[in-house]
Amino acid sequence: MRTPSAVLQIGCSVDRARGVNEARLARRQEAATKRQQQQQKEDTAETKPTSDASNNNNQSIEGEKDYDDDKEEPYSPENWNNLVFRYEEPNQMTRWDSPLFTLIWEDDETQTRETFDKIWDVIAGEAKKIIRPNQSTIQRDKDPGGDYLYVLERETQDIVKRILSGQSDDGGDEVYIPRNPGEKDSEEYLIELPAGKKVGLAQLQRYRRAFVALNRGGIGLEALGKLAAGRLRESFVGYLNDALEKDG
């Protein structure tokens, strides 16, 4: 064993997580209603002949299997809101959150498999350096403008602001993002916005948070370790174009 533990973060928007919990609450309520109805049938069956009661008991057992199969326990709305309020994002730079891997809700089967392969390699593989229990940080080359996480936040926020200020109310624009904003005649990256609708701040921030979560943790750690600000901008622009095309 190369390291005794790893942290897997599941990235999911608050609205989507709330919807999942509410669906579980609804299933629980439905199951409770079915149990109540079944109990009423059993109480009525006590006054019927033995053969009829036996048949009803068999149906009761089968019915319980139907609506008791869901083992996903929901949170009460109050507890769920408290959990969201108290949630703290894991930090790769702390010992207790390292090594950190991230999956987001939209990840497909291929991405999920790759992530779990990386987790297995860290725990038991031979290709990577052993992660010592007292290793509190992962070393990254620092950009001249600040450390890696600071640059990651700064550059992605800047791109979001440029998209919001560069698009029209009708949508469908092409927004050009400079690779190095401080340089004259800097190379530019193109972001193609969907036609017929304006991309809002909430949508862009959702993409940005997902990108940051992917790039601050274990996924692609080796490849991302030496990214300078310009390379980060190029990577985020590519991520946005893919996400916008996928969401239509």
Q: How would you write the pLDDT of the chain (248 residues) with one tens digit per residue?
A: 456 678 888 887 788 889 999 999 999 888 889 888 888 888 787 665 555 545 555 544 444 444 455 567 899 999 988 888 887 777 766 677 778 888 888 788 888 888 888 888 877 766 444 333 333 333 444 444 446 778 888 889 999 999 988 887 766 678 899 888 877 778 888 998 888 788 888 889 989 988 888 776 543 443 443 346 778 888 899 999 888 888 76
Domain-ending residue, one of 67, 83, 99? 83
In a domain, 34, yes or no: yes
* Residues in Cβ contact with 185 at an 8 Å cutoff, skipping those fewer than 6 apart: none
pLDDT score of 2: 57
Same domain, 240 and 151: yes
Split into its structural domains, the chain has a count of: 2
Same domain, 162 and 237: yes
In a domain, 121, yes or no: no
Same domain, 73 and 171: no
In a domain, 163, yes or no: yes
In a domain, 157, yes or no: yes
In a domain, 133, yes or no: no
Residue 226: how many other CB atoms lie within 10 Å: 11
Computed from CA positions of residues 54, 59, 60, 64, in that sequence, does the dihedral angle turn out positive or negative?
Answer: positive
3-class state of residue 40 by DSSP: helix
Quote the domain boundaries for residue 215.
Answer: 140-247
3-class state of residue 57 by DSSP: helix
Half-sphere CA count of 148, side-chain side, radius 13 A: 18
Select from 133, 150, 60 the least CA-distant residue to 98. Answer: 133
In a domain, 217, yes or no: yes
pLDDT score of 63: 45
In a domain, 116, yes or no: no
The reported pTM is: 0.41
In a domain, 101, yes or no: no
Alpha-carbon distance of 67 to 49, in angstroms, equals: 27
Same domain, 78 and 144: no
